Structures are given as C-alpha cells and as structure tokens.
Amino acid sequence: MIFFLSRFNKTKFIEDISYTTFSKIVSVIVGFIIKIVIARLLTKEDFGIISVLTSISAYFDMIADFSTHSITQRNIINNKEDCSKHYFIYVNTKIITMLISVVLFVITAFLLGYFQYKLIICIIVSTMIINVLYIMPIVLLEAFENFKLYSKIMIYVAFINLIFQCSFLYFLRSAEALFVSLFFISLSSLYICYKMVGFEFNMIYHFKKVKFLDIKKLIQEAFPIFIGNFFYMLYYRIDTIMIEKMVGLESAAEYNLGFTIANQLLEILWVQFIVVFYPRMVQMYNESLVRLSSLMEQIFIILIFIYLLVFLTSYYLSGYIFGYIFGAEYKNAGTIFTYITVAVFFTSVFSLYYRILVIANKQYVYLYVMGFGAVINFLLNLYFIYIYKEFGAIITTIIVNAMIFFIVRYKANIILRRVNV
C-alpha cells in the first residue's frame, strides 16, 4: 500500500479519497436508517413492491445515462481546454436518451402488469427526468477532480433523503408515500447541485446546442458500453423481479434488502476509490502502462484481503444483526448479504479492469461479455431460483460475476501487453 501511494501526489489523493469516502459513509448510514424505517413501518409486501419498482426504474435510469458519463469524463480529462464543448455534447445527448428511457420504462411497467400502481409509475417518471438533469454537472467535478465539492453535494443529498423519506413514511406509512418523497428529494437535489456546481462552472447555466454529428459520435463511442450495461443491468436487476414472479413479494423484499446493503458496502470500500482513481488511470495509461499494470495488481491483492475479512465477519454476525435491526422476519436477508459479498468482490475487481477497456476504446469487449453474462444469468436463475428460491439467485450472481471478471481481466491484460510492445 505504501508503494501504491508513493506513485501519486499523496496529499491530494488521500484528501480526495477521504472526502469521497466520508460522504459515502454518511450516505450509506442514511440509507441504512431509511431501510430500517421502511422495514419497521411498512408491510413486507409494500417493501417488496418498492424493491421491484425501484429495480425496474434503476434499469431505465441506466438507459437514460446511455453510458456517456465515463466517455465524457475521459474526453474532458484529455482536453480540458475544450471542456465546454464536451459537456454540452453530453447534455444534449442525455436529454435525448432520457426521453427514450422514459417511454421504454412506461411500456415495460405496463407489460409486466405494474400499472395497478399508476400513481407510483407517474411519480417515478417525473423523478427519472429530474434525476437526469441533476446528475449532469457531476461529470465536471469528477473530470476536474473537485472531489471536495462533489462530496459536499453528496452529503447534502443524503440528509435531504433522510428528512423527506423518514417524514413521509412516518406520517403516511405506504409505498406511495416513499415515492412521493423521492420526487421532492430529486427537486431539492437538482437545486443544490446546480447552485453549488454553478459557482465553479458558470457555463452550466447557459444551455448550448451542438452539432448532431457530435452527438452521433458520442453515442457511437458509448453504444458498446450502453448495450453492455443494458445486459449488465438485465442480470443485475432481473433477480429481484424473477424472485417476485417465481417465489413472491416477501422473498423479493428479503433478497433486495441483503443485496442493497451489500451494494452499499461496495460503495464504501470501492466505488469512491475508483471515482478518484479513474482520472489517474487515464493519465498513467498515457504515461506508463507498466506502472499502471503493477498498481492494478496491488489493488487486486488488497481487495482480496479486505473482502475475505468482510465475509468471515459477516458469516458469524449478519444473521443476528439483520434480525435485531430489521426484525426477525428479515433474518434471512443477513445470510443473503453474507454470500452476496462474494459476488460484490468480483464486481469490484471487474470494474477496475473494465476501465482499461474504456480508456483503450475497446468497449465492444464489454458488450460481448455482458450479453453472454445476461443470457447465462437468466438461464441459471430459472434453475436455481426454482430449486433454492431467493438463495438460488445468490448462486447465479456469484457464478456470473466471477465469469465476467476473469474474461475482462484477461482481455484488459492483453491490451496492456499489446500496447507496451
């Protein structure tokens, strides 16, 4: 680890990691409190409805992003003098993809039979639109490594979530109340983000049209990642929906709770690190691939030890902790959490090597791997969920995540060696 840190401006890097990790810890604690409130104040069936509909909406949020975020971040890092041009190409593209995603979400909700929750569907559509607008300026903070402001915004948004969701749930106690609170949270987050980012980047207040050819080029670059993410989210989010259809809402609620807490662990242990590390990966890719490859191997080894410790601790304590905090009916969610951490480990190391594909503009590899993974995941789920119920989805997730990681790591290492020749 000392060798790893010595390669950077240690003060800046450690400061950035500290800011983002602290903000994520705050966000996760808030999310944990909200999950407790939901489990204690709502029925397990309501929890199941929330789990399924948020899983579907998250899928279409990904379509709205269209995977242009990482491409735009890379473009700005490589050409900061022309950041305004790249930003507004990104903005115009996201408006188009957002409209497409909303239409597809409504059609999908109708086909899956969730139009009985019409009020919730309407609120989700409104929230999806606002969230796309809210998240756009964040790409500038990441590209210019302004993680102090980035973290401050995340903390404000976390506390807004806590206040609105807990208040609405306490007084109204329904699934609809939760989604209404999410609408007001999105509006508040939109205001805070544009207010704070605008001090650093005044250009976000002045919308500019761009040439369609520029939008087309960004879409073409992002398309392989988008389709890859489409398949990724298909196997990442379809588990909850398949459990609900094959087993029931209560099992879907248990699985979603354990899975969500495991993902929040991922956010703390890894996502904030890779957000800060990615700009440096781009720079090191252009400067010294040998150093970059060596660093990635060190990070990989460190993650093995961290997740092994998490798994062993969780194995002995998670069932008791989940049962005590969320209620005895959610004790199985603790077991789900324990084994999902294995899948989360593979997600972490995969996301490290996957970024080499993005930097090298080899996104098509990601597309093929994710398409294959989605098909395998669906077929294995049909078998394992039928036999082991919600625990079958855990087996499938571990197998598919491990398979995808090893393929992407192999391809990334080939790219690094080939460029170094």
Give pLDDT tens digits for 29-63.
Answer: 898 899 889 888 988 888 888 888 887 787 777 66
Give the residue-averaged pLDDT of 140-167. Answer: 92
Q: How far is the C-alpha of 353 from the C-alpha of 408, rounded, in Å? A: 7
Query: Does 176 share its domain with 276?
Result: no
pLDDT of residue 361: 80
DSSP secondary-structure letter at 365?
Answer: H
Is the CB of residue 390 less than 8 Å from the CB of residue 366? no
pLDDT of residue 330: 86
pLDDT of residue 385: 92
Is the CB of residue 49 less than 8 Å from the CB of residue 114? no
pLDDT of residue 2: 43
pLDDT of residue 153: 94
pLDDT of residue 31: 86
Query: Does 176 share its domain with 228?
Result: no
- Would you state the structure tokens that stand for residue 325, as one six-digit string? 């905090």
Query: Does 242 share its domain with 347?
Result: yes
Total residue count of the chain as it appears in this document: 421
Question: Does residue 267 carry a pLDDT above 80?
Answer: no
Domain-located, residue 58: yes
pLDDT of residue 383: 93
Give the residue-averaged pLDDT of 282-294. Answer: 85
Domain-located, residue 23: yes
Last residue of a domain, one of 210, 243, 275: 210
pLDDT of residue 406: 94
- Would you state the structure tokens that stand for residue 131, as one six-digit string? 């969230």
What's the whole-number average pLDDT of the chain? 85
Query: Does 367 share its domain with 267?
Result: yes
Name which of 139, 136, 155 is nearest 19 in CA terms. Answer: 155
Query: Does 232 share its domain with 380?
Result: yes
Domain-located, residue 215: no
Please state, as a whole number, how many other Cβ atoms lie within 10 Å of the Cβ of residue 102: 19
- Would you state the structure tokens that stand for residue 379, as one six-digit string? 């077929």
Last residue of a domain, one of 165, 188, 210: 210
Q: Mean pLDDT lowest for which of 21-25, 123-127, 304-308?
A: 21-25
Residue 412 to residues 86, 258, 302, 363, Cα–Cα distance (Å): 26, 31, 19, 11
- Would you state the structure tokens that stand for residue 271, as one six-digit string? 């996502």
What phi-psi label fits residue 146: left (phi over 0), alpha (psi between -120 and 50 degrees) or beta? beta
pLDDT-derived band at 420 (thresholds 50, 70, 90) equals very low
Domain-located, residue 46: yes
Model pLDDT for residues 197-230, shown as the tens digit of each residue = 998 888 888 888 888 888 888 888 888 777 777 7
Query: Does 203 share its domain with 238?
Result: no
Domain-located, residue 218: no
Query: Does 334 share its domain with 198?
Result: no
Domain-located, residue 383: yes
Query: Does 392 share its domain with 265?
Result: yes
Range of the domain at 182: 11-210
Query: Does 329 share its domain with 279?
Result: yes
CA-CA-CA-CA torsion sign (354, 355, 360, 363):
positive
Query: Does 241 share its domain with 311?
Result: yes
Model pLDDT for residues 334-374, shown as the tens digit of each residue = 999 999 999 989 988 998 898 888 888 887 787 788 888 88
Domain-located, residue 4: no
Query: Does 201 share its domain with 82?
Result: yes
368 Cβ partners below 8 Å, 6+ apart?
none
pLDDT-derived band at 66 (thresholds 50, 70, 90) equals low
Q: What is the pTM of this model?
A: 0.74
Query: Does 201 share its domain with 321?
Result: no
Kindly give the residue spans of alpha helices, DSSP state H, lying in 42-117: 44-65, 68-78, 83-111
Domain-located, residue 217: no
Helix or strand (DSSP H, E) at 280: helix 272-287
pLDDT of residue 362: 81
Count structural domains, the chain.
2
- Using CA atoms of 384, 385, 391, 397 in order, give the dihedral in degrees to the nearest 10: 70
Last residue of a domain, one of 210, 240, 273: 210
- Would you state the structure tokens that stand for residue 364, as one six-digit string? 């098509």
Is the CB of residue 412 less than 8 Å from the CB of residue 354? yes
